[in-house]
Amino acid sequence: MSKVFITTSIPYVNAEPHIGFAMELAQGDALARYYRAKLGEDQVFFLNGTDEHGSKIDKKAKETGIEPQKFVDRITQKFIDLGKALNISNDDFVRTTSDRHKKSATDLWRRCQKDIYKKNYKGLYCSGCEEFKTEKELVDGLCPVHRTKPEPVEEENYFFALSKYAPKLRELIESDELKITPELRKNEVLGWLREGVQDISVSREKLKLSWGIPVPGDPDQVMYVWVDALSNYITGAGFPDSHEKWWNEETLKIHVVGKDILRFHAIIWPGLLLSAGLPLPNIIYAHGHITSDNQKMSKSLGNVIDPFSLIQKYGADAVRYYLLAKIPWDDDGDFSSDKFQAVYKGELSDNWGNLLNRLVVLGGKSKSQISDLKSQNIGSNPELAGFRFNNFIEKQITELARINREINETEPWKLITSEPDKAKKIIEKWLQDYYQISQELSFVAPRSFEKVEKAYSTGQAVQLFPRVEW
């Protein structure tokens, strides 16, 4: 494998970005930066985007009294802003309302045509929501939003023969040819496949869903979310004209998604790709969710964490660090102000930040040429390549703590006078190790590493994580 193509999921722009998506961006970005350092800048493509069609958005826009396009423009800008605020190094950002994407989705539909057929669709329709509800979405048989009973409605829609691909998908997932990670999620997907996969409805009548991409050759039907949204990943690769450079069998293709949308990515998306005769992704990594003070975030509880204000106050690196270090890679995790502040002060400011200045001072005293002590090796990172972000960081932080401890035990300021040669040797080893660790952490906290670089070049102390008034 010499090239890597990484995507984050495409959030639905009916609501503003939340902290969970900030984590997903940070995860994808850490992977992209790691692979770029390992394989070369132009060997990696990192894609972000937004999912912008559907009746929910149409309805919200109408309620707000603006055109749906204007509505999605406004929310999408916030997702773009979040990427910038977090210092995300994406190579492209694909919106599903863009012309290039409409072309891509339409082409994917055509390539799947042999598996698409018309059938009566029976569903429970809430006229308030203007959408079909699944039994699972209902609460006591009622629409959870409107508290009304949805009407049984029958209409003719297009279906995709997903069931046809279920045996093949099972084989690919069992053998890890299509790797679902963590293992718990893989088993979940295999469970769904064992329960049986039905063909899926992939269109709606235009009267019920006008805000979407028309079905090719049938102006009365509009694509439902599956073909419309999932094709975003190949649009970013250049589909249908120039995708072979990235979307090919040789490139390692990774989707980073939340566990709540794993089913679509692990079953429907590969099913569509198999039908279209296109390569499948290699790895789908599904992360968990974030609670706030151990409670689900909700507006009514007033415990929603705004990623923007957090970044503004503490900087992108600290937020990225917390999300990758303290939310377990394979489970849900918690955010609280107290924990965040403890991590900022302890692990970042004291352990990583102050150590830099300790070492720079010692380097000066022992007459070491600090700028020569930059080792340029990117280590092999099985933890990072395996999405175990928190284990990866833990390893680096333990190493930083080790250096801090050795300094306290060795008391090098005394040794510099008594045994200057020995002191110089020890201090230079610490400086080398510190640089190496900081370089590894650059995938997580890139701006802090730039500061470390500066300190090494100039021999001057730099504050990595300045004091913040809580």
Q: Is residue 454 part of the contact set for Zn ion (CB under 5 A)?
A: no
User: How many separate helices (H) and strands (E) can be counted in the chain?
Assistant: 19, 15
Q: Is residue 280 part of the contact set for Zn ion (CB under 5 A)?
A: no
Separation CA 70–CA 73 (nearest Å): 5
Nearer to Zn ion (CB atom), residue 150 or residue 307: 150
Residue from 126, 180, 254, 286 binding Zn ion (CB under 5 A): 126
Pick the closest to residue 246 from 94, 403, 414 (CA basis). 94
Q: Is 94 exposed, middle or buried (0-12, 13-18, 19+ CB in 10 A)?
A: buried
Q: Is residue 15 part of the contact set for Zn ion (CB under 5 A)?
A: no
Q: Is 445 exposed, middle or buried (0-12, 13-18, 19+ CB in 10 A)?
A: buried
Residue 141's region, left for phi above 0, alpha for psi from -120 to 50, else beta, is: left
Buried b (16+ CB within 10 A) or exposed e, 167-189: eebbebbeeeebebbbeebbebb
Q: How far is the CB of 145 from Zn ion (least distance, A)?
A: 4
CA distances (Å), origin 136, targets 67, 96, 142, 284 = 31, 27, 11, 25
Nearer to Zn ion (CB atom), residue 85 or residue 124: 124
Q: Is residue 184 part of the contact set for Zn ion (CB under 5 A)?
A: no
Q: How far is the CB of 142 from Zn ion (least distance, A)?
A: 9
Separation CA 361–CA 144 (nearest Å): 62
Q: How far is the CB of 143 from Zn ion (least distance, A)?
A: 3
Window 18 to 77, contacts with Zn ion (CB under 5 A) = none
Helix, strand, coil tally for the chain in percent (to 5): 55, 15, 30
Size of interface with Zn ion, in residues (CB under 5 A)? 6
CB 38 within 8 A of CB 305: no
Residue from 1, 145, 184, 301 binding Zn ion (CB under 5 A): 145
Nearer to Zn ion (CB atom), residue 133 or residue 170: 133
Q: Is residue 431 part of the contact set for Zn ion (CB under 5 A)?
A: no
Nearer to Zn ion (CB atom), residue 70 or residue 147: 147
Q: Is residue 112 part of the contact set for Zn ion (CB under 5 A)?
A: no
Q: Is residue 129 part of the contact set for Zn ion (CB under 5 A)?
A: yes
- Select from 44-52, 53-61, 143-151, 455-463 the region that touches Zn ion (CB under 5 A): 143-151
- Select from 41-49, 135-143, 371-379, 397-405 the region that touches Zn ion (CB under 5 A): 135-143
Q: How far is the CB of 127 from Zn ion (least distance, A)?
A: 8
Nearer to Zn ion (CB atom), residue 142 or residue 401: 142
Look up residue 385 and give its DSSP letter: H
Buried b (16+ CB within 10 A) or exposed e, 217-252: eeeebbbbbbbbbbbbbbbbbbbbeebeebbeeebb
Residue from 122, 146, 194, 313 binding Zn ion (CB under 5 A): 146
- Select from 118-126, 249-257, 398-406, 409-417 the region that touches Zn ion (CB under 5 A): 118-126
- Select from 89-97, 128-136, 336-344, 444-452 the region that touches Zn ion (CB under 5 A): 128-136
Nearer to Zn ion (CB atom), residue 126 or residue 178: 126
Q: Is residue 128 part of the contact set for Zn ion (CB under 5 A)?
A: yes
Nearer to Zn ion (CB atom), residue 144 or residue 217: 144
* Amino acid sitting at position 354: N
Residues of this chain that bind Zn ion (CB under 5 A): 126, 128-129, 143, 145-146
